[in-house]
């Protein structure tokens, strides 16, 4: 049996997994990234993880190639991480450096594209011709898969839906623009807004749950819990985020006409709390012809989508 | 020499032209559409026009196929005009009916896609990998050409940028939604807004130029003239339309990352009056990486782009 290995390099952890041709995860490892040690140390760690997985798989199973999903700007053809803020990487030739270490073909791409690629070919988008995927996490980004092929656009920059300017949003974005979708509609945007409202004295269950300094520990999952407990602040913030995502997706869908929209990332764990207002706003803003055909679903492999996508992408690019 | 014929079926006129493989127009005819006579009469007229062009081209030139651009919803694979409001067509199998009349392969598509296809392969988008085109006319629509191939999306509905909801726009749209880009930023939207403001008594040169009933004859070109003469009302309306188009394009470009945006249609005849605010708003809303690479240009073949595109599309689909 031929298998491929997918690697998801995050700011906090590296996840590395082997999958079969259908995207089934056979082995999986997780290690802290420790990006402060520099890119050579991180690539060394990935090489060790790949070696360990190969050993665990045993001699009968041949690993043909490795795919790596990296945050930030990636040149997938050259195999270079152009810029990854979290990792402090700039112009790192990851495919070559890692390929030399492990003696296998290495293919890299942006982590969101890998995630959505996995969902498109072996997850919630399976069987659809035109997949528009969005991940709602620390930021918000999209990826487009048509007929099983990722769409890249000029300089491989396609997918920056998180930086579409939304009316009524004034927040400054880390990108230098203001009013970007991700400032308020990402998982971290939810938390930031809640903290701000609580510090300004807005009434909420969250004041009891996270008194004083404890507020620093607030997560998006806590907002979901508060919403379930009837908290108006949490509901306002989550519903608004759902609507804004729906609105940005309506603009994208009107131009692209996808068959399906797959919503993933940590933000998607809010489930119907976020998805119901997202769908409502999206369908409200679409022409009837679009509305009737377009499916909106949550990702199937939330935790593993990154490694599944990277692994299947490596198989695809390697021509396995 | 092999040539193909392109046909642009409008609500008012049919334009029919033969081009060589590079898109050079060799012969061209124009006739009134007279859509009220029904689709058989219109298709009969197109067949006559094709026959006349073949006769004028002479026996030494072989016409290999015919492409037809039709407004509204088209199923290009089946060759069926699904719905064309202007023509009162619904589910007309144009490719088969016209092919039977003229004895040549006939390929049809939406008129905006044909226009942008012509610009992408033989006009202002020539040489670019990822072309996003927009036509600003009676309505506003977009088309996407990647590597010389039109992108269709689900049900061939891609490109409905004219129905993206714009904040601050409240006008009802003919589509049933409200606040759609095309209600205020299309050529007809410009005229409608000017007429409304003038009827409400707003001061403008246009009151002198089009007194009383004469206002009915106001066109988008007149607004350009008034803007050049220093008229504030005309300038306000055109600049706002430019900005709104820029804003809608910024959202689309953030997701698609085109190499070039081609702006065509009657509205593009306003030139820099519209294009300067369009570019300014577009670049203002884009991430720096996009801003640096993205070209924004006006169409090269405004009048002939439809027949050039239909003709080259027929050659492409016929495998000439």
pLDDT tens-digit readout, A105-118: 999 999 999 999 99
Residues of A in contact with B129 (CB under 8 A): 154
Looking at the fold, whether B111 and B151 belong to one and the same domain comes out as: no
- Strands B295-298, B260-264: parallel, antiparallel or unpaired by DSSP? parallel
Task: Give the range of the structural domain holding residue B50, as residue numbers without chain letter.
Answer: 2-118+303-318
Looking at the fold, whether B278 and B132 belong to one and the same domain comes out as: yes
Q: Tokens at residue A43, please?
A: 């690539």
Looking at the fold, whether A66 and A215 belong to one and the same domain comes out as: no
- Chain centroid to Cα B1, Å, comes to 29
Tokens 């006008």 map to which residue? B171
pLDDT the model gives residue A304:
94
Residues of A in contact with B159 (CB under 8 A): 255, 257
Contact A163 B254 (CB under 8 A): yes
Average pLDDT estimate for A133-143: 96
Average pLDDT, 10 consecutive residues per value, chain B (320 residues): 93 95 96 95 98 94 96 94 92 98 97 97 97 95 97 95 94 92 96 96 95 94 97 98 98 97 93 97 94 93 93 93
Looking at the fold, whether A53 and A176 belong to one and the same domain comes out as: no
Residue B23: which H helix or E strand, with range? none
- Strands A13-19, A295-298: parallel, antiparallel or unpaired by DSSP? unpaired
Looking at residue A281, which CATH number applies to its domain? Answer: 3.30.420.40
Secondary structure, 3-state, chain A: CEEEEEEEECCCEEEEEEECCCCCEEEEEEEECCHHHCHHHHHHHHHHHHHHHHHHHCCCCEEEEEEEEECCEEECCCCEEEEECCCCEEEECHHHHHHHHHCCCEEEEEHHHHHHHHHHHHCCCCCCCEEEEEEECCCEEEEEEECCEEECCHHHCCCCHHHCECCCCCCECCCCCECEHHHHHCHHHHHHHHHHHHHCCCCCHHHHHCCHHHHHHCCHHHHHHHHHCCCHHHHHHHHHHHHHHHHHHHHHHHHHCCCEEEEECHHHHHCHHHHHHHHHHHHHHCCHHHHHHCEEEECCCCCCHHHHHHHHHHHHHHCC
The DSSP 8-state label assigned to residue B125 in this structure reads: T
Q: What angle do CA A209, A210, A214 make, to 5 degrees?
A: 150
Name the phi and psi angles at A3, rounded to 5. -130, 165
Looking at the fold, whether A114 and A153 belong to one and the same domain comes out as: no
Name the phi and psi angles at A232, rounded to 5. -70, -40
Sheet holding A2-9, edge to edge: A25-32, A13-19, A2-9, A62-70, A106-110
Looking at the fold, whether B286 and B311 belong to one and the same domain comes out as: no
pLDDT the model gives residue B293:
85
B165 touching A (Cβ < 8 Å): yes
Query: Quick one: residue A115, left, alpha or beta (phi over 0 = left, psi -120 to 50 = alpha)?
Result: alpha
Q: How far, in Å, CA of B296 to CA of B252, rounded?
A: 13
A255 touching B (Cβ < 8 Å): yes
Tokens 């000439």 map to which residue? B320
The tens digit of pLDDT for each residue in A30-44 reads: 999 999 999 999 999
* Cα separation values, A164 from A181, A182, B161, B223, Å: 6, 8, 15, 31
Whole-number mean pLDDT of chain A?
95
- First-to-last CA distance in chain A? 12
The DSSP 8-state label assigned to residue B190 in this structure reads: H
pLDDT of A68 higher than 80 = yes
- Reference A86, options A133, A7, A33; nearest CA is A33
B75, B154, B280, best to mutate vs chain A, most A CBs in 10 Å? B154
Domain total for chain A?
A: 2
Nearest C-alpha in A relative to B164: A251
Distance from CA of A93 to the nearest CA of B (A): 20
Q: Which residues 60-89 of chain B have a CB within 8 Å of chain A?
A: 73
Looking at the fold, whether B82 and B135 belong to one and the same domain comes out as: no
Which residues are CB-neighbours of A292 under 8 A, at least 6 positions away?
Answer: none
Secondary structure, 3-state, B60-110: CCEEEEEEEEECCEEECCCCEEEEECCCCEEEECHHHHHHHHHCCCEEEEE
Percent of chain A with pLDDT over 90: 92
B209 touching A (Cβ < 8 Å): no
Distance from CA of A194 to the nearest CA of B (A): 25
Looking at the fold, whether B72 and B138 belong to one and the same domain comes out as: no
Distance from CA of A153 to the nearest CA of B (A): 5
* Cα separation values, A268 from A133, A140, A258, Å: 12, 11, 19
Residue B270: which H helix or E strand, with range? none
Name the phi and psi angles at B211, rounded to 5. -75, 145
Q: How far, in Å, CA of A110 to CA of A81, rounded?
A: 8
pLDDT the model gives residue B143:
98
The tens digit of pLDDT for each residue in A168-197 reads: 999 999 888 999 999 999 999 999 999 999
- pLDDT band per the 50, 70, 90 thresholds, residue A2: confident
Exposure on the CB side of residue A26, measured as CA atoms within 13 A: 23
A177 touching B (Cβ < 8 Å): yes
pLDDT the model gives residue A293:
85
Looking at the fold, whether B105 and B176 belong to one and the same domain comes out as: no
Contact A247 B165 (CB under 8 A): yes
The DSSP 8-state label assigned to residue B32 in this structure reads: E
pLDDT of A1 higher than 80 = no
This prediction's pTM: 0.94
Q: Tokens at residue A174, please?
A: 């880390």
User: Looking at the DSSP assignment, which residues form a beta bridge with residue A44?
Assistant: none
pLDDT the model gives residue A207:
94
Q: Tokens at residue B91, please?
A: 């589910």
Looking at the fold, whether A86 and A133 belong to one and the same domain comes out as: no
Residues of B in contact with A180 (CB under 8 A): none
Q: How far, in Å, CA of B191 to CA of B270, rounded?
A: 13
Q: How far, in Å, CA of B134 to CA of B265, rounded?
A: 8
Count of CB contacts below 8 A, A vs B?
Answer: 125
- Strands B2-9, B62-70: parallel, antiparallel or unpaired by DSSP? parallel
pLDDT the model gives residue B320:
75
- Chain centroid to Cα A133, Å, comes to 9
Residues of A in contact with B254 (CB under 8 A): 160-161, 163-164
- pLDDT band per the 50, 70, 90 thresholds, residue A240: very high
- Reference B16, options B4, B313, B58, B41; nearest CA is B4
pLDDT of A320 higher than 80 = no
Looking at the fold, whether B184 and B313 belong to one and the same domain comes out as: no
pLDDT the model gives residue A125:
97
Looking at the fold, whether A185 and A155 belong to one and the same domain comes out as: yes
């Amino acid at each position: 049996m031929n298998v491929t290995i997918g690697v998801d390099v995050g700011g906090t952890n590296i996840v590395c997994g082997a999958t079969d041709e259908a995207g089934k995860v056979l082995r999986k490892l997780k290690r802290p990234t420790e990006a402060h040690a520099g890119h050579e140390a991180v690539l060394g760690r990935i090489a060790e993880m790949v070696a360990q997985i190969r050993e665990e798989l045993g001699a009968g199973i041949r690993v043909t190639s490795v795919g790596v999903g990296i945050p930030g700007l990636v040149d997938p053809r050259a195999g270079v991480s152009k810029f990854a803020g979290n990792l402090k990487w700039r112009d790192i030739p990851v495919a070559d450096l890692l390929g030399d270490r492990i003696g296998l073909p290495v293919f890299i791409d942006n982590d969101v594209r890998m995630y959505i690629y996995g969902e498109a070919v072996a997850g919630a988008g399976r069987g659809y011709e035109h997949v528009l995927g969005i991940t709602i996490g620390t930021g918000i980004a999209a990826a487009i898969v048509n007929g099983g092929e990722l769409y890249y656009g000029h300089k491989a920059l396609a997918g920056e839906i998180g930086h579409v300017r939304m009316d009524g949003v004034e927040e400054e974005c880390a990108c230098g623009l203001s009013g970007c979708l991700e400032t308020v509609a990402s998982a971290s945007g939810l938390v930031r807004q809640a903290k701000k409202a609580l510090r300004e004295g807005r009434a909420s269950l969250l004041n009891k749950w996270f008194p004083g300094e404890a507020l620093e520990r607030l997560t998006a999952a806590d907002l979901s819990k508060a919403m379930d407990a009837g908290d108006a602040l949490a509901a306002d913030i989550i519903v608004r985020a759902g609507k804004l995502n729906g609105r940005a997706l309506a603009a994208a869908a009107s131009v692209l006409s996808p068959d399906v929209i797959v919503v993933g990332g940590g933000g998607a764990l809010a489930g119907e709390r976020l998805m119901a207002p997202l769908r409502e706003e999206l369908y409200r803003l679409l022409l009837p012809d679009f509305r009737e055909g377009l499916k909106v679903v949550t990702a199937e492999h939330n935790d593993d989508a990154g490694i599944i996508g990277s692994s299947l992408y490596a198989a695809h690019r390697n021509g396995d």
